[in-house]
Structure 1
Amino acid sequence: MAHNIIANPNYKAKIDYTPFREYDASDDTRRWKDFMSGDWAWQQADTISQDPETQGSALVPIILGSDKTTVSVGTGNNEYYPLYASIADRSHSKDDPFWIFRRQLFHSSLSVILSSLKPFMTTHEVMRCGDGHFRCVIYSLGPYIADYEEQLVLSCVVKHWCPKCIAVRTNLDGGCIYRSREHTNFLINELHADILWDEFGLIGDLVPFTNDFPRADIHELLSFDLLHQLIKGAFKDHLVDWVAKYLKAVHGTKQSEEIMSDIDRRIAAVASFSGLRQFPQGRNFKQWTGDDSKVLMKVFLPAIKGHMPQDMVRAFCALLEFCYLVWCNVITEDTMIQIQDALYHFHHYRKIFDTVVPTFSLPRQHLMTHYVDMIRLFGAPNGLCSLITESKHIKAVKEPWRWSNRYNALGQMLVTNQRLDKLAASHVDFDV
């Protein structure tokens, strides 16, 4: 697969073979855009340049992503996993040994899938690239795109803890140092499993798949998740739900329902000529998709104005400001300052919700504090967003499942994807 991508002539003008740093010509400030403009790729290139066996090689980072998906809720809640499939007896699904086995199977499967790349992570491979030139290439495991639940599995971290830093789960917003492969291995070798679990949020019985590969640290490689952390997390699951809880706590059930109805009326009243999407039922649609939430973010702030205290409106405003800043395709030093400022104001104004719901130590909100550092490492978040893997589910899993006869569907789905890939490759040949 990696060979096909590198050699594909369609990508000849779209691949950066070396890391770079981009600066604004007017004021000489740094800009982050593409992945190879980040510090992580630069640091990897520095490392491979120090080895005589790999010096002068082009860096080829392997960017991974995984996300479990449900193909049909109405016909048995069938779930598929793009990376592996396991058959389990439900009578043992709650047993600790089986739980450990299932999670380790995930890491072992990833290690096997990527094993063919491992020899060429320390010794270069000569490849013909899409532009017709031959290059020495070195592979490296790059960022991993996943939601919070997936990040816990990947990093072998306990739920409600941060997979990026060692902040205590009861005070995630207090700030702390980053986790690292070396630090984690040291703790596992020195401490009992119970202490690892209770004081550091680590599952000592599991070994991350990245430990099998050079220059790979799963805690560092975990990437942004704009969809689940910001759109569905901080906005929908937190602030929007907190509004309903606040109104019910302050005004009672009957009056809060009247206020929420007026908020829905305002949302539904968006004019069609504005270019904004209309919601005839307000926010009461059956399933919140990422696109639904993104569009609702544009109209929700004026809909609640006048019904909520001013600080709550300001909390929404700060969160939306943060979201729109990190969604920029190009991020500058000035943008970084604005992101930090929006985050500070969000943490300040969200305290008003503490009267109805605890707003501290929420992992998905806490991960927002790591965005500036991750932007410096990996470039603009748009290039490494879980919206990418979500969109792939439709063509890679959901549609092939619908085309199958539903009996032992996995084999049929794999054949469908193989044939679609061959058709796509034929189209490229015909165009050339």
Structure 2
Amino acid sequence: MLEPLFENASIDLKIDGKRIWFYPRISTVICDWPEACTFSLTYKSSNSNYPCHFCLVSKDNLANTCLRKSQAVLRNKENTKKYYDNDTTKEASLEPVYNYFWDIPDLNIYDATVSDRMHHLDLGLYHYQIEFTKELLSKSSINKFNRRIAEIPRHPGLKIFAGGLQSIARLTANEFRDLMKVIVFVVDNLHNKDLSEVYVKWNEMYLLSRLETFKESDLKIFQKAIDDWANLFIKLFQNISGLKFPKLHSWKYHIIDTIRKYGAINGYTTETYESLHKTYVKIPYRLSNKRDVETQIMKMIRRRAIILQKQMEKKYKTSVPLNYTSKLFDFKFSEASEFCEKQKNNSNLNEKMRKAVIMDTDELSNYQSDSGTCYAHTLLVTQIVFAEIVIFQKYRYDIESISI
């Protein structure tokens, strides 16, 4: 499958019974930071000398919001391969292994390993922000924090934390997003104005990250929102943790360039794949007896697919024509008024039929609209026969003679 990548050749691939011809290319690698380090063969430690897989920024500058370009030289095949050839990979926090992706044309593996929003923000920086907030607050404020969360009333589509926020280690990305909706009000007046403001700035930045398209003006607004949040985040929490976070650095200095090159973040997020992983792997695994797990999971997935397929099938009811036993009378719609007047005294009609044709002219508008088109209030007419009308449309083509 990957051979044509090296040969710059095309392949034929059969998908859904159709043969498709194309040139395969690796555009982006969507992953969390540890996996990005695996692809780029950089050290998986924020304490390494150069922990960012995008650039050669020193670990001491990870929380620096005023970096010069010379302090964050971008990694590429050329400058990283020099360290490998000179046997000095340790100086650039590189594994002493030849990188497989160096030989693939038109690919810079260091910027192709894009930041995944779910791991980068929801389960990453936002997780840290809540964790540091709890460390910043006093014990009485933490109790008030948990009580406020527990007292939030139920609302459709909103996760309720009835016991407060005792532990955030096992929270999912969806649960962190639910916290974003309410936590601005939870932290209000618990510490200082900056604490409330950092969550406001976070929400502004997060909403911008979910835009479907970006213009250059949008990117400038987005960069300012990132800077405003990052400055407050560092101001509040640097004394607590030191903030040696590659994710903080890459979000501030690399995400805008990534959007310029690869498009909106929505196009390279793992949210869809992670939700499928939960449905098709985690849940079936819990339902298994933990023996011969793969076989059991495949059986459950196959059954689920069959059930979903049956539910998606459209079932059409076969219409059964009515059998008419007799024809009482016929008339034209244009003569409906005369017909009704005549049938009011028809002795062959029973009482209900007679009431059906007794209609004042004032009620006529209830039974017709659109310039007299009759709608479905008919009670007595049992069969409508339309005359066969043939419509001819005449087209005239004028062909000019062209001399050659």
Question: Which TM-score bucket, shorter chain as reference?
Answer: 0.5 to 0.7
CA distance in 2, matches of 1:168, 1:183: 16
Checking the alignment, whether the CA contact within 8 Å between 2:4 and 2:11 is kept in structure 1 is no
The equivalent of 1:91 in structure 2 is: none
Checking the alignment, whether the CA contact within 8 Å between 2:54 and 2:110 is kept in structure 1 is yes
Q: Does 1:115 align with 2:8?
A: no
Q: Secondary structure at the match of 1:123?
A: coil
Q: Does 1:171 align with 2:67?
A: no
CA distance in 2, matches of 1:376, 1:213: 22
Checking the alignment, whether the CA contact within 8 Å between 1:171 and 1:360 is kept in structure 2 is no
CA gap of 1:135–1:343, structure 2 versus 1, over 3 A, is same
Q: Does 1:259 align with 2:141?
A: yes
Q: Choose 156-165 or 357-366, whichever is displaced more.
A: 357-366
RMSD across aligned positions (CA): 3.2
CA distance in 1, matches of 2:308, 2:298: 17
Q: Does 1:186 align with 2:82?
A: yes
Q: Does 1:333 align with 2:229?
A: no
Map 1:67-146 onto structure 2 (within 5 A).
Answer: 114-115=1-2, 117-118=4-5, 122-125=8-11, 136-146=21-31
CA distance in 2, matches of 1:424, 1:182: 53
The equivalent of 1:151 in structure 2 is: 36
TM-superposed CA distance for 1:285, in Å, is 5.5
Q: Secondary structure at the match of 1:388?
A: helix
TM-superposed CA distance for 1:424, in Å, is 9.6
The equivalent of 1:301 in structure 2 is: 184
Q: Letter of the 2:163 partner, please give it.
A: Q
Checking the alignment, whether the CA contact within 8 Å between 2:41 and 2:94 is kept in structure 1 is yes
The equivalent of 1:366 in structure 2 is: 249
Q: Letter of the 1:300 partner, please give it.
A: I
CA gap of 1:334–1:355, structure 2 versus 1, over 3 A, is closer
TM-superposed CA distance for 1:299, in Å, is 0.8
Q: Does 1:315 align with 2:202?
A: no
CA distance in 1, matches of 2:3, 2:282: 29
* TM-score under structure 2 length normalisation: 0.65
The percent identity for this pair of structures is: 21
Q: Does 1:200 align with 2:92?
A: yes
Q: Letter of the 1:125 partner, please give it.
A: I
Q: Does 1:228 align with 2:113?
A: no
TM-superposed CA distance for 1:218, in Å, is 1.6
Q: Deviations over 1:218-270 (max 9, x none)?
A: 2121122111211121111x2111112122xxxxxxxx222112122222333
Q: Choose 388-397 or 302-311, whichever is displaced more.
A: 388-397
Q: Deviations over 1:33-89 (max 9, x none)?
A: xxxxxxxxxxxxxxxxxxxxxxxxxxxxxxxxxxxxxxxxxxxxxxxxxxxxxxxxx
Q: Deviations over 1:160-187 (max 9, x none)?
A: 1011111112212335122112221122
CA gap of 1:318–1:426, structure 2 versus 1, over 3 A, is closer
Q: Choose 173-182 or 286-295, whichever is displaced more.
A: 173-182
CA gap of 1:425–1:290, structure 2 versus 1, over 3 A, is closer
Q: Deviations over 1:351-385 (max 9, x none)?
A: 33356413443111112121111111221112211
CA gap of 1:359–1:326, structure 2 versus 1, over 3 A, is farther
Structure showing greater radius of gyration is 2
CA distance in 2, matches of 1:302, 1:430: 46
The equivalent of 2:368 in structure 1 is: none
CA gap of 1:421–1:179, structure 2 versus 1, over 3 A, is farther
TM-superposed CA distance for 1:210, in Å, is 2.0
The equivalent of 2:134 in structure 1 is: 244
Count, aligned residues: 301
Q: Choose 168-177 or 219-228, whichever is displaced more.
A: 168-177
CA distance in 2, matches of 1:128, 1:355: 53
Checking the alignment, whether the CA contact within 8 Å between 2:194 and 2:236 is kept in structure 1 is no
The equivalent of 1:393 in structure 2 is: 277
Checking the alignment, whether the CA contact within 8 Å between 1:168 and 1:200 is kept in structure 2 is no
CA distance in 2, matches of 1:429, 1:244: 47
Q: Deviations over 1:287-313 (max 9, x none)?
A: 211110011011111211111222232
Q: Letter of the 1:312 partner, please give it.
A: L
CA distance in 1, matches of 2:210, 2:132: 24
CA distance in 1, matches of 2:130, 2:206: 15
CA gap of 1:260–1:203, structure 2 versus 1, over 3 A, is same
Checking the alignment, whether the CA contact within 8 Å between 2:212 and 2:264 is kept in structure 1 is yes
Q: Letter of the 1:262 partner, please give it.
A: K
TM-superposed CA distance for 1:207, in Å, is 3.2
* TM-score under structure 1 length normalisation: 0.61
